[in-house]
Structure 1
């Protein structure tokens, strides 16, 4: 009995069911009809008729002259051999996993993973930076936020647009000369800090409008608003436009604050 079982394991699988899910060599004999064939890690020899899909992963597929396949044929990581006279009704896909393909898949997967990591890190910064600025600044940030709590958005947006245009022009001029590159880095750092500071104010304004945060701590209002900004910023295209507007509003807040300071000193 043991010898018989051993021999059965050594013989390639023969199609005998409506759908075949195999992990060994499989054969669809001539004159036999099955619905689907799925084989992983084994070779497939189709001599009969398949009315559904044929999927072979990490194995070779041989389609005999007497075979007729009425569905899609997909071969991944193996070779496809088709004899003259075989009938294929639907599409055929042969994906070779040679070195070039593997390198392309790794490169593409690495780019996608890298973009996802950058997006995730950016979302964390959008949420955590305003909360940290609020907690560390305490009363100063609270008074700063209260001052611009009801400032008109149109005025903030127009001011931020003018400030952003001026910063962009300055960065272009500094980028032309090698000497100006260190100054360019300082300007960008100041601009990013201004955006973070202004985003704190906007996060508080947005969080203050959420009913859930009415009876919560002030920093929770900032967290709630920043989380909403981060969530909507992850929407493709629309999110980028949204955060661009948020950045302009943040620059407008800081510009008006600096202008007010200079006016009082004068």
Structure 2
């Protein structure tokens, strides 16, 4: 595969076509904020201050453990943003070809700039609901994406996602649960029943897993990482907190205790 080349715009959405929520997300791509989070060999660091870091790092590691990608697998990261998760996919599955796609030209420009050295990774700015030349993929990932889609467009978006996946291919996704208050840049959050209902016309559900346990310990951990008095920067302490978080707060006993949902689905 060729190394990253300048992305060709394939029917990207114009700024005038974006919703208020999408414009809010677009404005955040002035800085590649997903790259603040650092984790490797059990070590965890969050340079600058990103209160989402511990959630983001733990979810990436969880997904990389769940995804099954062998030699020659084609993987698409839909709604890749600035490409951080696409990067981790390409590094974890070096015999696979990874393509990150997003409607945001600014996000894709950041993704290209941050990942020039990875040979099995490419990026494109494209609206997947329009005509595109990608063909089909073995694996698709939607990490915190569907909540950004306007409710009235969700059905057509899922159909477009399905069109990107070969028959029998696998979709891995995460979405925020309705237990979590709706954020300003989101159109909707989901229950297990709701996300399964969205996917069932095009996919067979293979696994559903609520995660990110709701507990007062979560607020304590976030305050320990950063508060009005200090930001925790000790590599040793950060790694201890991160390991404790993954062991005790990432998984939960039931849907009523979760903040997010993981789904593995097979294309019909």
* TM > 0.5 fold call: no
TM norm structure 1: 0.24
Higher strand share: 2
Structure with higher Rg: it is 1
